[in-house]
Structure 1
């Protein structure tokens, strides 16, 4: 585009792809800048070593290091991990595709149960009812498989899922058996994977390589295969890959005029735009705002509240395992086919805050299982290891436990004062310590996972120790939404309080963490944000910086 576009969007993942499509279809000119390459379905493969261990689709710590510490009093050092995608489609290209809506309680829990001392636990400035039409829109626009109305805990919905659930796997059958024996309520997992041909895309071919991998059949409902091609088809959206944005430019009026980035050859480039929309993720979005500090914005752009980068939430996670008499062959098909949410809400009888859900899966691809999937007392070398691996790989399933994280100002993203990335820019510095209630909730759910496996008939069960987390692929809360400019970074329409033509929509906008599956809500927020941004642009309510 020779003229400055109406919008430049940084990031092409869950939110960026949606907003690009919505704005381009609405008639606006859009440029999307993405750090990684623009791959196609034929570029994806099942090479676990290259994809998982050599970071083919995600941030590579050799080029983008992260430092870590538990508290501000410590000097951060190597360690910790933040996983996020670097390719067109972002995390939607390689995610598991678990696709839960948030429930009504996620948006107003503070009003229901009260304050939690030492935290920034609060209500969202929007309600579930306000977001429900956008949940429905994303489910139908990208294609989600599921079955509405079968869980007694399901939040209200205006339409069913557009596709039936995916076929149940062995783990789902056993999960359902164990849960029902315990009086719980399992149901077919909502998945952003096509169970039948949908809008010109293939249905799932059950190859077994969903989590961590791109889909060579195009059945995973990634923005790469869904909304981004529609955005490009308008002729008004350019997807520009290999672009490492490192500064948001502002003029003397405090308006953004575009962004500056390094291209694939590390040459500095500038993209002017009338407005900028950040859709990086909950780590890179605050990093970019902090990197954009200037004499006018000495603490970072859009940071008059001092909250950019603060209230980082990972969501809770725990895992249990069980081995069964007969082969389950869980290496086939999608990762998850059954879920339960009986423990979604906080129960004061537990003695701590939190809630969550369980799902049935095998959480390890082959190499990962060989390295980490066996019980802790099994030798890791030799004939017994080989025998156990051969027997257990086809007979093991996991129950994964997904739970809440409380927002703490002490958990944050900042710029490391000494460590640099491959472009010479300050590295991400992560400060994180789980709230005691979060750890208690993880352990409590893990105990329920073991109960379920035993009720399902597992011959042996084991679990992985719940310890303080040092990383996640769910990066939430670091540019929180709110109506008070002193206590939030963006307003309820995702416009930053400080810069009238700068918007943020990704996991960083979250006020609370939900129960471990944020992508559906990120995308629903993106549809809502795009609608409001378009309305404001048509009304002349977004002052241009370009």
Structure 2
């Protein structure tokens, strides 16, 4: 494997190894570009994953201190865990469920399509579906997305069968086991899904796409990619002209190192990426890097989520089989007659009994709560994924008092639901409950949103530099050789799971960076 010198000024340095950073690093390496990925977490391999919810959470999750504020339920229930993401090589592609759906055309034009909405900071993407479609196709092929490129869908487990039956009772038409980046048959040197059921804990069979064991090894084989685990980025440095010159990071011993760079790409998720830019403030960039617009950290989105669970007379065993292989897309199109803008999807979901106890109604206890847990094997469940509205006040800032172990301010996450988010979620709750009631559920209950897994915005794309942080290639408006390469560059959130779009953007960004390097324009 490659090992580059700390003083090598010719390398591209990427902070983060998940869907954006891991894909970008591999793509650049395959194009002959020397690349270093700095990953804050450890490197685990497939055999290290734990099919145990609590143990796996402790092994993989980003549990560094964070603070929260706002009216969202997560602030009350999980004040120091606003997001359920991974701190390890591969990032949250270890934890994700695999759902891989393209954005709809109008979702790139939310401001034009929805019009002005009070309290929402809507903006059209500087990028269209037509421009991104070739990269969506490449991402689907790379990831082995089912129901694309002739790849068959995954089988439906009992949870899906209940879900499908209810969907048909309600008259829904677009229901199937989804477009999933999980092999339904052997592909790309990996076997098909074994229906083990622990999708959130890391795929023990390797059937699920993850940069850890798909993209990163391919990049490393070229000799052009070095991945450094236990390398927590603390600041990005720049020269007198304002050009990024490298990244200072702390190694596993807490010793600070400086990796020089020709290009720096930030791919640390929508919480850590703006935090790094803000913590990199200097006398030249007093408000943080790439923040002349004041938009770094703003417009945080997490999707409008929630869940509905139902209890039946007979066992369902929802935990057996692929966790999220089931989708209903009929509610995804924009239909203002429902009383809100945007759309949502239903996806099958299950969590184990320990997480069910933690998420069912946090802080609750008593007979009603305990009886629900007693009926766990008879449960079926679905998850709501809906578009939430970007708002300037929903943002990531630096906490004024809480510091990390390196003495740097931690991220503080503020979030309030927009009225549109509430209307969408309530509609989805009603439809989800009706779905299960239509097929004989004896008890149906909505579940509040969990710590977020779809973290979006905070460094958004914009055509005009005053409106955002990066351009249509993820290149910051302020600094020519500084890029954002994760979901924080999303202008709006759409209602689809974001990973496919992050990967498509990373493939496109790699082409752009490699081209600019060849032309010597960065």
* TM, length-normalised to structure 1: 0.90
Q: Structure 1 stretches of 5 or more lacking a match? A: 148-159
Cα distance, 1:113 vs. partner?
A: 2.7
- Conserved 8 A contact 1:105-1:345: no
Question: How many residues were matched structurally?
Answer: 511
Aligned residue in 1 for 2:54: 49
Matches within 5 A, 1:77-88: 79=80, 81-88=82-89
Within the alignment, does 1:511 sit opposite 2:511 as a pair?
Answer: no
Q: Does 1:418 align with 2:418?
A: no
- In the other structure, the counterpart of 1:267 is 255
What secondary structure does 2:212 align onto?
Answer: coil
Counterpart selection for 2:344 from 343, 353, 356: 356
**CA distance in 2: counterparts of 1:315 and 1:199, whole angstroms:** 32
Residue in structure 1 matched with residue 378 of structure 2 by the alignment: 395
> Residue 166 of structure 1 aligns with which residue?
154
**Cα pair 2:125 2:463 within 8 Å, conserved:** no
**Equivalent position of 2:66 in the other structure:** 66
Taking the TM superposition and a 5 Å limit, the aligned residue runs for 1:308-327 are 308-327=296-315
Contact 1:314 1:476 in 2 (8 A): yes
Where does residue 449 of structure 1 map in the other structure? Answer: 432
Structure 1 residues 79, 267: CA separation in 2 closer, same or farther (over 3 Å shift)? closer
Give matches, 1:13-32, under 5 Å. 13-32=18-37
Q: CA deviation at 1:370?
A: 4.4
In structure 2, the CA distance between the partners of 1:531 and 1:439, relative to structure 1 (3 Å rule), is same
Instruction: Tell whether 2:100 aligns with 1:120.
Output: no
- Secondary structure at the counterpart of residue 325 of structure 1: coil
CA separation of 1:51/1:101 partners in 2, compared to 1, >3 Å: closer, same or farther? same
Cα 1:29–1:79 shift into 2, 3 Å: closer
Q: Partners of 1:479 and 1:470 in 2: how far apart? A: 23
| RMSD, matched Cα | 2.1
Aligned to 1:150: none
**1:197 matches 2:202:** no
User: More deviation in 351-360 or 296-305?
Assistant: 351-360
Partner of 1:435: 418
In structure 2, C-alpha distance between the alignment counterparts of 1:98 and 1:175, rounded to whole Å: 16
Per-residue CA deviation, residues 396-450 of structure 1 (Å, 9 max, x unaligned), is 1112111111111101001011111122210111111111110111111111001
Greater Cα offset, 7-16 or 100-109: 100-109
Q: Deviations over 1:155-180 (max 9, x none)?
A: xxxxx345211111112112111111
Residue aligning to 1:133: 134
Deviation of 1:47 after TM superposition, in Å, equals: 2.4
1:144 and 2:132 are equivalent in the alignment: no
Kept in 2, the 8 Å contact 1:399–1:453? The answer is: no
Pairwise CA distance, 1:78: 5.0
SS at match of 2:249: strand
Shift of the 219–5 alpha-carbon distance from structure 1 to 2, 3 Å rule, reads: farther
What residue number does 1:304 align with?
292
Contact 1:257–1:274 (Cα < 8 Å) also in 2: yes
- Range 261-270 or range 175-184, more displaced: 175-184
Is this contact kept in 1: 2:399–2:411, CA < 8 A? yes
- Counterparts of 1:456 and 1:132, CA distance in 2: 38
Tell me if the contact between 1:139 and 1:162 (Cα under 8 Å) persists in the aligned partners: no
- Structure 2 distance, partners of 1:21, 1:347, is 40
**Aligned counterparts, 1:366-385, within 5 A:** 366-373=353-360, 379=367, 385=370
Partner of 2:14: 9
CA contact 1:374–1:389 (8 Å) conserved in 2: no
Q: Which residue pairs with 1:210 in the alignment? A: 199
The residue that corresponds to 2:390 in the other structure is 407
Q: Is the 8 A contact 1:432 1:470 kept in 2?
A: no
- Find the residue that maps to 2:55 and give its secondary structure: helix
Distance 1:318 1:372 in 2: 11
Q: Residues 484-515 of structure 1, C-alpha deviation per residue, up to 9 Å, x if partnerless? A: 11111101111111111111111110011111
1:388 CA displacement: 6.3
Q: CA shift at 1:228, angstroms?
A: 0.6
Query: 1:378 Cα deviation (Å)?
Result: 6.2
Instruction: Report the alpha carbon displacement of residue 118 of structure 1 after superposing the two structures with TM.
Output: 2.5
CA distance in 2, matches of 1:371, 1:11: 29
- Give the alignment partner of residue 228 of structure 1, picking from 206, 210, 216: 216
Q: How many angstroms apart in 1 are the aligned matches of 2:432 and 2:365?
A: 20
Give TM-score scaled by structure 2 length.
0.94
Say if 1:122 and 1:512, in contact at 8 Å, map to a contact too. yes
Q: Paired residue for 2:43, among 38, 49, 70?
A: 38
Distance 1:110 1:198 in 2: 40
| TM superposition shift of 1:369 | 2.8
Q: Could you say which residue in structure 2 is the equivalent of 1:520?
A: 500
Query: Following TM superposition, by how much is the alpha carbon of 1:459 offset from its aligned partner in structure 2, in angstroms?
Result: 2.5
Partner SS for 1:282: helix
Contact map agreement 2:342 2:494 (CA 8 A) in 1: no
Separation in 2 of the partners of 1:377 and 1:86?
A: 32
Change (3 A) 1:448 1:273: same
For the structure 1 residues 256 and 388, does the alpha-carbon distance in structure 2 shift closer, same or farther, using more than 3 Å as the test? closer
Of 435, 444, 457, 1:461 maps to 444
Q: Distance in 1 between matches of 2:187 and 2:415?
A: 41
* Aligned-pair CA distance for 1:470: 8.6
